[in-house]
Structures are given as structure tokens and as C-alpha cells.
Amino acid sequence: MSQTVEAPILPESSPDREVNCEVALEAAFAALVTAAEGQGWTPDETASTLLKIATNHAQKTEAVVAAPDN
């Protein structure tokens, strides 16, 4: 399961940057879901686990952004 994630084509200031990221990650995400389900994980298990991992990542990212400068 190896999918290439394309680099951003829009500057960070672009309002469409998030959509650009979605498109860039879509194929790799689909491959990950297919691989997980191919190993016997159910669609519900796969979806809830990916959501948990993504939520944890978002929380860590928010914590870093919210941390005061040292």
C-alpha cells in the first residue's frame, strides 16, 4: 500500500488550500481503508479508528499552535 501524496499547489493563504489537501490525500486514504479492510477489519472499525487517529492528530496540532512561545 504505497500511494504518493502530492505537494500543495496553492499557497498557504489560499482559501482553497484545504480542498487541495483533501484531493492530495484522497488516494492514499482510500488505499489505507482498502488495506485495512483487506486484512479483515470491518468498515465500521476502520472508519472509527481512522476518525480517532485523525482527532488525536488534530488535538496535538491545536495544542502546538496554542502553546505559548518559550
Say how far apart CA 14 and CA 59 lie, in whole Å.
23
The answer as to whether 2 is a domain residue is no
Containing domain of residue 21, as a range? 17-66
Q: What is the pTM of this model?
A: 0.79
Q: Is 12 domain-assigned?
A: no
Tell me what pLDDT residue 49 has.
98
Domain assignment of residue 11, yes or no: no
* Total number of domains constituting the chain: 1
State how far the Cα of 51 lies from the Cα of 17, in Å rounded to an integer.
21
Asked if residue 31 belongs to a domain, the reply is: yes
Q: Is residue 62 part of a domain?
A: yes
Q: Write 22-31 long-range contacts (CB < 8 A, 24+).
A: 27/3, 28/3, 28/4, 30/3, 31/1, 31/2, 31/3
Confidence of residue 68 (pLDDT cuts 50, 70, 90): confident
Residues in the chain, total: 70
pLDDT per residue over 28-57, tens digit each? 999 999 999 999 999 999 999 999 999 999
